[in-house]
Chains A and B, each alone.
Chain A
Amino acid sequence: MKAMQDSLLAPSRLKAWEPALWLVAFAAPWLLPGHALIVNEMAIVALFAVSLDLILGYAGVVSLGHAAFFGFGAYTAALFAKLVMPDPVIGLWVGMAAATALGALCSLTILRGSDLTRLMVTLGMALLLLELANKLDGLTGGSDGLQGVVMGPVLGRFEFDLMGQTAAWYALSVLFVLFALARRLVHSPLGATLKAVRDNPLRAMAIGIAVQRRLAVVYTLAAGVAGAAGALLAQTSGFASLDVFALDRSADVMLMLVIGGVGWLYGGVLGAVVFKLLHDVISGITPQYWTFWIGLFLVVLMLLGRDRVLKPWAAWGKPKAQGESA
């Protein structure tokens, strides 16, 4: 009884390295003030990756248009700041709420059909919003982007600074809170039923899980989290442009998950950090050709397996017991 409960609870227990990781993250803008802007970007894309992992890694729903929710959150937050009020936290709630509502609406169509259908429908949804934002230029600024977004101080006290320290801490805090909530969810009975749906929808139905409804719930939640990431980008950059809806953005976030590992929330964070670092370092050396190196990295990663690239000391020694799950 005790042993069983222990092994069931083991995945949800806090590991020693987790608080350490978050401490390092929160200390980074202070230790490296010159790099606060990139920390901010990392936190935002990490949150976006966590959102995609919720549906892809934990529920098995593929999406090539996750930027739809990111972008919708971004434009909503930017417009809210410009037209209604400049408070970032309220704007964040509004951006999240809007993306959540859009996610609920999309879940009606997206959850029908097979993987290929879903890829195409999600892709179409993002393209649709991209063109809407382009066309409604009176409201969104069209291809010039939505300019003149001025943000108030966070919680009425912390002004956004040019170095990006406030922005980084703000984004990290939001990431932390939403990550903690997502972490609870994936280790709960609800999370276990999602994994069941991912592994075997037929059997999930045969044990009484309302599969479509379960997927709709997680899809809606993930959309809200993506909307929060988008809102953070618009708020911390004071700008929203059409590229928030772009296919690149949906594809990049999937790359991050592939790099870090799906079905493991820290995988999204790890992937976001590695991806942004690679981007930053390589484009510093060769600004025009950085995607060549990213491509090469991906090919090597896929051929060798993630464990051997990211943890070579552990993997080269002994043969693997089970099949590679990448």
Chain B
Amino acid sequence: MSAAPIVLQTEGLLKKFGGITATQDVNLSIAQGARHALIGPNGAGKTTLINLMTGVLEPTAGRITLEGVDITRMAPAQRVQRGLVRTFQINQLFASMTPLETLAMVVSQQQGLGGHWWQPLGANRRVVERCEVLLSLFRLTEVMNQRTDVLAYGKRRLLEMAIALACEPRVLLLDEPVAGVPAGEREELLHTVAALPAEVSVLLIEHDMDLVFDFATRITVLVNGAVLTEGTPQDIANDPQVKSVYLGHGEALTHG
């Protein structure tokens, strides 16, 4: 592994909900251009960690830096403007808009036109050009004029990711991108995940081990809110602790 610069880092991140510790002293570093996966059994605190990184939740203690800038207390929208973007495990889309309108809106916002009220949406050439690229990259061109709430589930899942990529992320947090996608539409989705631009650093949260081992070059295992281990896919596949966590004997090891 070459020493690519670190783009996103958490240091001693701690989150308590009353007496429950959801995130326990997590130190995580995502390198530039990384294909990093975060795995762990249900309730390991993966989603809490994402919410802390994106600013939906505020940590009890610890620090988060994005490209060297401390973003621990920064508002969620500002983090997005700095390039930290997420997708959602359960689709969060704009039901009454079409994929084309949605992407044109997101791209306009990203290009700093979100507050403009005089020009119509789509008047800007660069916005439309970017939409064209995104629609074809995510195979949404044929359905671009249908309302989002009538799209097939797989297409909605693609739009979910297209919206995130339209924000021009430096770091992309993918929260279970293939969750719930029927087998017939899965291939298309896996293909687009694999085709994400190389310069974007990706942190993938996923239950599907085939996808994780295909995609990631680095894996972090989270158990009960704390990092159990981190390494290459091979290290993780051969780690006896990880095996026992996934085979259901996790209780004995959780304080490792």
Complex Cα distance, B119 from A184, in Å, reads 7
Q: A191-B117, A195-B96 are in contact. Are A8 and B104 (CB under 8 A)?
A: yes
Which residues of A198-213 are within 8 A (CB) of B?
199-200, 202-203, 205-211
Are B106's CB and A206's CB within 8 A?
Answer: no
Are B97's CB and A8's CB within 8 A?
Answer: no
| Residue of A whose beta carbon sits closest to that of B102 | A196
> Nearest chain B CB to A6's CB is how many angstroms away?
9
Are B121's CB and A185's CB within 8 A?
Answer: no
| Residue of A whose beta carbon sits closest to that of B107 | A189
**Cβ-based interface call for A27 (8 A):** no
Q: A8-B122, A192-B121 are in contact. Are A199 and B77 (CB under 8 A)?
A: no
Q: Which residues of A contact B96 (CB under 8 A)?
A: 195, 199, 263
Are A5's CB and B110's CB within 8 A?
Answer: no
Complex Cα distance, B167 from A189, in Å, reads 15
Q: A9-B122, A207-B167, A208-B109 are in contact. Are A195 and B100 (CB under 8 A)?
A: no
Are A4's CB and B132's CB within 8 A?
Answer: yes
Q: A8-B122, A192-B104, A192-B121 are in contact. Are A206 and B93 (CB under 8 A)?
A: no
> Nearest chain B CB to A204's CB is how many angstroms away?
8
Complex Cα distance, B167 from A1, in Å, reads 20
Q: A189-B105, A193-B109, A209-B109 are in contact. Are A203 and B121 (CB under 8 A)?
A: no
| Residue of B whose beta carbon sits closest to that of A321 | B150
**Cβ-based interface call for A12 (8 A):** yes
> Nearest chain A CB to B102's CB is how many angstroms away?
8
Which residues of A96-133 are within 8 A (CB) of B?
none
> Nearest chain B CB to A284's CB is how many angstroms away?
39
Are B116's CB and A7's CB within 8 A?
Answer: no
Contact of A206 among B86, B118, B128 (CB under 8 A): B86
Are A196's CB and B167's CB within 8 A?
Answer: no
Q: A4-B144, A7-B100 are in contact. Are A205 and B118 (CB under 8 A)?
A: no
Interface string of B91-133 (1 = CB under 8 A from A): 0111111001110111011100111111111110000110110
Q: A7-B145, A195-B96 are in contact. Are A205 and B77 (CB under 8 A)?
A: yes
Are B147's CB and A322's CB within 8 A?
Answer: yes
> Nearest chain B CB to A54's CB is how many angstroms away?
11
Are A203's CB and B94's CB within 8 A?
Answer: yes
Are A209's CB and B86's CB within 8 A?
Answer: no
**Cβ-based interface call for B163 (8 A):** yes
| Residue of A whose beta carbon sits closest to that of B54 | A206
Are B128's CB and A4's CB within 8 A?
Answer: yes
User: How many residues of chain A get a CB closer than 8 Å to chain B's CBs?
Assistant: 31
Q: Which residues of B contact A191 (CB under 8 A)?
A: 117, 121
Are A193's CB and B105's CB within 8 A?
Answer: yes
Q: A200-B95, A206-B54 are in contact. Are A185 and B81 (CB under 8 A)?
A: no
Q: Which residues of B contact A192 (CB under 8 A)?
A: 97, 101, 104-105, 108, 121
- Prevailing SS type, chain A contact patch: helix
| Residue of B whose beta carbon sits closest to that of A325 | B96
Q: Which residues of A contact B215 (CB under 8 A)?
A: none
**Cβ-based interface call for A279 (8 A):** no
Q: Which residues of A contact B132 (CB under 8 A)?
A: 1, 4
Are A202's CB and B92's CB within 8 A?
Answer: yes
Are B129's CB and A1's CB within 8 A?
Answer: yes
| Residue of A whose beta carbon sits closest to that of B131 | A4
**Cβ-based interface call for A188 (8 A):** yes
Are A5's CB and B116's CB within 8 A?
Answer: no
Are A208's CB and B147's CB within 8 A?
Answer: no
> Nearest chain A CB to B201's CB is how many angstroms away?
18
**Cβ-based interface call for A187 (8 A):** yes
Are B117's CB and A185's CB within 8 A?
Answer: yes
> Nearest chain B CB to A240's CB is how many angstroms away?
31
| Residue of A whose beta carbon sits closest to that of B113 | A189
> Nearest chain A CB to B54's CB is how many angstroms away?
7
Contact of B97 among A188, A189, A199 (CB under 8 A): A199
**Cβ-based interface call for A326 (8 A):** no
Complex Cα distance, B163 from A196, in Å, reads 12
| Residue of B whose beta carbon sits closest to that of A263 | B96
A to B CB contacts below 8 Å, 29 in the list: A1-B132, A4-B100, A4-B122, A5-B128, A7-B100, A8-B104, A8-B120, A9-B120, A187-B120, A188-B116, A189-B104, A189-B113, A190-B115, A191-B117, A191-B121, A192-B121, A196-B97, A203-B93, A205-B76, A206-B54, A206-B85, A206-B86, A207-B80, A207-B163, A208-B78, A208-B80, A208-B110, A263-B96, A322-B150
Q: A7-B100, A205-B77 are in contact. List 20 more A-B contacts (CB 8 A).
A: A4-B128, A4-B144, A9-B122, A12-B120, A184-B118, A187-B120, A192-B104, A192-B121, A193-B108, A195-B96, A196-B102, A196-B105, A200-B93, A203-B163, A207-B110, A207-B163, A208-B77, A208-B81, A209-B114, A211-B77
The residues of A with any CB-CB pair to B shorter than 8 Å are: 1, 4-5, 7-9, 12, 184-185, 187-193, 195-196, 199-200, 202-203, 205-211, 263, 322
| 4 smallest beta-carbon distances between A and B, as pairs | A8-B122, A208-B80, A12-B120, A189-B108
